[in-house]
Amino acid sequence: MGPFVFEAPANRVVFAAGAVAQLADEVDRLGAKRALVLVTPGHEADGRRICDLLAARACGVVATARVHVPSEIAAGAIASARELRADCTIGYGGGSTIGLGKAIALELGVPQLAVPTTYSGSEMTAVWGTTANGVKRTGRDPRVLPRTVIYDPQLTLGLPARVTGASGLNALAHAAEALYAPNASPITTLLGEEAIRALAAALPRAVRDGGHLAARTDALYGAYLAGYVLGTTAMGLHHQVCHALGGAFDLPHAELHALALPHVLRFNASAAPDALAQIARALGAADAPAHLRALIAELGLPVSLAELGVPHAGLAAVAAYVARQPYPNPRPIDEASVLRMFESMFTGELPERTT
Ligand code: NAD
């Protein structure tokens, strides 16, 4: 084992079935008196239920959260938080809602108490992002890390099967990339392997039977650990190609992350044999990329860029873009090798293992 640096996220985590009942106590613990509840459109009833739990501590509901935090949505929510004199936000939902709470925290310094209901892991990171004119701006700031996170698996029982599978594999992808990150440590490796093990075992059960509380509990535990390592390591080629392809073709975030994972792992295998062996061990598989490719199909998720409607003719320009600004990655990349990987992602056919 070599020397390492590890910076743990400084927040409080409460994990239990039914833990949302402790919400008011957790707000009191933060010393807050006026909590603004954030949800996505269509989840206003959830917002009202959260206000009931908060009683006099609730100051309003903003139900405008949208994927990738459009800047006008962020501006509206910041204005509401100011007007209502909110001294904390409750981000109740997935990465979109928690992202909106982060935008408020960044601008006003108002802390967020996150109640995640998907597996995005955003609640464990200090990374924020907003989108204007199709361009996503991201940054890292300790103020946006939610101060308290309440994980209540009961709240995920109604998560649709497709979101369950895609969001869960998105989380698994974060854990996998953490294992070969340049700033990986024995701590992130332990947590990353455990995240992969928990997610891979739980997701098929949670997708088959959304009401399976034990499967939901294990999946949410895996998502917590995956978010933890996402927040403490630098992501590589997988994160980069998903960012580039998603931005170029406006693709569904979690589905894209899921289908790209086996291909990126196959690409990186020769340069990161230890990480690939750790992933295989966590999956209980001989060949991690092939196992994940099969898992994605088993979960009923798209396996090819063609299925997502990506035009084949557009791939070369994205490969060139990716090659121009590489992220830290175990295997050096160039335009031709990225394009070859895109070709296999396009058809969904995973190349054979070479070692
Ligand atoms: P999401 O938050 O957009 O949620 C997907 C859909 O599921 C929404 O319509 C939402 O209303 C619905 N939903 C959420 N929970 C539900 C539940 N329990 N039951 C029924 N429906 C439910 O999607 P996501 O995958 O959670 O998050 C994606 C976003 O998060 C992206 O913008 C991504 O960039 C961001 N993200 C950020 C970080 C970070 O560290 N900053 C990390 C991961 C993801």
Ligand 1 pocket test, candidate residues 50, 104, 120, 256, most atoms within 8 A of CB: 120
Residue 292 CB-half CA count within 13 A: 31
Check if 67 has its Cβ closer than 6 Å to any atom of ligand 1.
yes
Check if 65 has its Cβ closer than 6 Å to any atom of ligand 1.
no
CATH number reported for the structural domain that contains residue 110 in this entry: 3.40.50.1970
**E strand residue ranges, the chain:** 12-15, 35-38, 58-62, 88-93, 112-116, 127-132, 135-140, 148-151
Check if 95 has its Cβ closer than 6 Å to any atom of ligand 1.
yes
Say if CB 93 and CB 101 are below 8 A apart.
no
Which percentage of the chain shows pLDDT scores above 90?
94
CATH number reported for the structural domain that contains residue 175 in this entry: 1.20.1090.10
Identify whether residues 204 and 260 lie together within a single domain.
yes
Identify whether residues 181 and 329 lie together within a single domain.
yes
- Predicted pLDDT at 264: 98
**Closest approach atom of ligand 1 to CA 42:** 11
Check if 120 has its Cβ closer than 6 Å to any atom of ligand 1.
yes
pTM of the model: 0.96
Is 1 part of any domain?
Answer: no
* Each residue's pLDDT tens digit, 206-246: 999 999 999 999 999 999 999 999 999 999 999 999 999 99
Distance, in Å, from the CA atom of 226 to the CA atom of 181, rounded to the nearest integer, reads 14
d(CA 56, ligand 1 centre) in Å: 28
* Each residue's pLDDT tens digit, 27-67: 999 999 999 999 999 999 999 999 999 999 999 999 999 99
The last residue of one of the domains, among 156, 175, 209, is 156
User: What is the domain range of residue 135?
Assistant: 12-156
Is 6 part of any domain?
Answer: no
The last residue of one of the domains, among 156, 173, 195, is 156
* Each residue's pLDDT tens digit, 262-294: 999 999 999 999 999 999 999 999 999 999 999
Count of structural domains within the chain: 2
Identify whether residues 332 and 183 lie together within a single domain.
yes
* Each residue's pLDDT tens digit, 56-104: 999 999 999 999 899 999 999 999 999 999 999 999 999 999 999 999 9
Check if 117 has its Cβ closer than 6 Å to any atom of ligand 1.
yes
The last residue of one of the domains, among 138, 156, 174, is 156
